[in-house]
Each structure stands twice: as structure tokens, then as C-alpha cells.
Amino acid sequence: MALILIRADNKEKLLNGIADVERHAKLKILGIPRVIPSESADNIVQEIIKQKLRSKSKKAVIVRVEEDTTKSIVNIRKIHPPAHLMVISEEYDAFKDLEAKFKELKPFRGYYSPKNPNSPKRKADSKNNSKKN
């Protein structure tokens, strides 16, 4: 399992970034992405890259994926999402902190996995399609 930090300017870019993780990086998202304060996300990134950031984020989420850190990094490097994605590996202190706080963070509303047949959006769509038939 790996954690992916996604930083962006707005919710739309976050949604596209999360979708790109599933669609193009072919990583399986576990559960619901969680909202993290953008200041915290910026601090985590700065701590990891050991440089000042060129731009601050306005929105940020943490996503858990099923695949290990190495596979996640390799697959993320192949895509070009509209948001800044960073795989946080177990070797960083931030990983332990984020993992411990993950369930306490507020769920990110608006994203439903197209691959998960039990997601609320997919259930609503299937009910609407069955009524039409």
C-alpha cells in the first residue's frame, strides 16, 4: 500500500488528478480520498524535496492505493495530470503521521471510482438505467 499526496489549485484539478491515478497510472484507489489542509500538504512536500515550493496549493487530498510504493512511483511518473502528485513512501516521517491521521481526515466529496461497482454514483446510475428499461 502507498499514499499519494495530490495538490492542486482547485477541486476540478484534484478530481482529474485522482481519476488519472486510476485510469492512466492504473493504480487501485482504496477507500475514499481524504482532504488535507493545503498548508500541511505544502509543508510535507517541502520537507521531502528539501526545497522551497514554486507555488502553494489551494486544495490537497491524500489517496491510498493498493500497489506498493515502487510500482506507484513508476506508474505515476508516466502520466501528466493537471495536479501535483507525490508518492509518499514509508521511509519518510510524514508517511507514519499521515497513515495514523488518515481516518480522522474529512472525506473528499465528489469523486466516485468508475471501477468500483459499489460506489454511490455507480449505484445511482444503475438504478436509473434499470428504470428506463
Averaged pLDDT for residues 80-95: 91
Q: 35 near 60, Cβ under 8 Å?
A: yes
**Segment 3-56, tens digit of pLDDT:** 999 999 999 999 999 999 999 999 999 999 999 999 999 999 999 999 999 989
CB-count exposure of residue 8 (10 Å: 0-12, 13-18, 19+) = buried
**Separation CA 99–CA 101 (nearest Å):** 6
* Residue 25 located in a structural domain: yes
Number of domains in the chain: 1
Cell numbers describing residue 50: 528539501
**Residue 126 falls within a domain, yes or no?**
no
Residue written as grid cell 497513515: 99
Alpha-carbon torsion (70, 40, 8, 34), positive or negative:
positive
pLDDT digits (tens, 9 = 90+) for 96-114: 999 999 999 999 998 877 6
Q: Does 131 fall in a domain? A: no
At residue 122, the pLDDT reads: 45
126 has pLDDT over 60: no
The CATH number of residue 42's host domain is: 3.30.70
